């Protein structure tokens, strides 16, 4: 039996499928590569703006802990902004400034800044935020596991999402923890075009060793012009 010729439409369709199969785009960067790219963008910027929020903070109690804040970070070790803390059960808005390894706080109803230890207010020195070896970017390469988790958008910008597991100690050193021996789960959103770290969501025992809570850090204004100096004496 002589085979019948393939109809013209069928032939075109078959060729079209073949062409598509031979020209599919290669896969994008893997999770570890994206995290390294994100670390490089943070380490390259002279300054940026941050916003911190939290979920799961205790509504009652006498503890001291940070619940949120906003400010600017300038390389190598300066931060200026406002932090929301609960101090022995009392919510406070603190004006904070850290530079050159010294942390200053201005309490409500006081005239000026005072040098103090940030651990008194439930967090580590925010001046470490842009430190390549102990700051935010170091968490990206400290991850013990990293998995691509699709894409999302933040304020109209497309992000590559990476889920990570982080050792608790470096997170506690940078932020806080009620039990630094426990791992922290994270979700990192990186801008697809610039590789800038845009959103960091961390879930762990921040306020209570037996209960998980969440911090969300938003980063923007990479390369902004700021000048953070010690307060006048």
What is the distance between the alpha carbons of residues 134 and 169, in angstroms, rounded to a whole number?
11
What the block records as the tokens of 137 is 């970017």
pLDDT in tens, 90-133: 888 999 999 999 999 998 888 899 999 999 888 999 999 999 99
pLDDT value of position 113: 96
pLDDT in tens, 3-32: 444 443 343 333 343 344 333 334 578 999
What is the distance between the alpha carbons of residues 151 and 135, in angstroms, rounded to a whole number?
25
Question: What average pLDDT does the structure give for the chain?
Answer: 88
pLDDT value of position 61: 67
What CATH number has the domain spanning 30-220?
2.50.20.20
pLDDT in tens, 146-183: 999 999 999 999 999 999 999 999 999 999 999 999 99
Host H or E run for residue 18: helix 8-22
What is the distance between the alpha carbons of residues 91 and 171, in angstroms, rounded to a whole number?
23
Q: Please provide the DSSP assignment of 60-104 as one string.
A: SSS--EEEEEEEEEETTTEEEEEEEEEETTEEEEEEEEEETTEEE
What is the distance between the alpha carbons of residues 135 and 181, in angstroms, rounded to a whole number?
19
- Average of pLDDT values for 80-84? 96
**Which residue, 223, 196, 198, is CA-closest to 47?**
223
What the block records as the tokens of 163 is 């889920």
pLDDT value of position 27: 59
pLDDT value of position 25: 35
- Average of pLDDT values for 27-56? 94
Host H or E run for residue 8: helix 8-22
φ and ψ at 170, to 5 degrees?
-65, -30
């Amino acid at each position: 039996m002589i085979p019948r010729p393939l109809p013209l439409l069928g032939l075109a369709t078959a060729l079209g499928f073949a062409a598509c199969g031979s020209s599919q785009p290669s896969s994008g960067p893997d999770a570890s590569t994206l995290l390294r790219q994100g670390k490089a963008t943070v380490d390259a910027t002279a300054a940026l703006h941050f916003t911190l929020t939290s979920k799961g903070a205790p509504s009652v109690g006498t503890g001291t802990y940070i619940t949120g804040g906003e400010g600017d970070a300038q390389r190598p070790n300066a931060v200026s902004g406002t932090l929301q803390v609960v101090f022995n059960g009392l919510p406070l808005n603190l004006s904070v400034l850290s530079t050159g390894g010294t942390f200053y706080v201005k309490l409500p109803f006081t005239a000026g800044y005072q040098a103090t230890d940030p651990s008194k207010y439930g967090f580590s020195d925010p001046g470490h935020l842009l430190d390549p070896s102990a700051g935010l970017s170091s968490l990206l390469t400290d991850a013990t596991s990293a998995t691509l988790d699709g894409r999302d958008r933040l304020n109209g910008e497309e992000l590559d999402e990476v889920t990570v597991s982080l050792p608790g100690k470096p997170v506690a050193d940078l932020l806080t923890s009620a039990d630094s021996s426990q791992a922290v789960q994270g979700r990192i959103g990186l801008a697809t075009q610039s590789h800038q770290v845009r959103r960091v969501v961390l879930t762990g025992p921040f306020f209570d060793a037996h209960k998980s809570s969440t911090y969300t850090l938003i980063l923007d204004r990479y390369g902004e012009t700021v000048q953070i100096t010690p307060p006048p004496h």
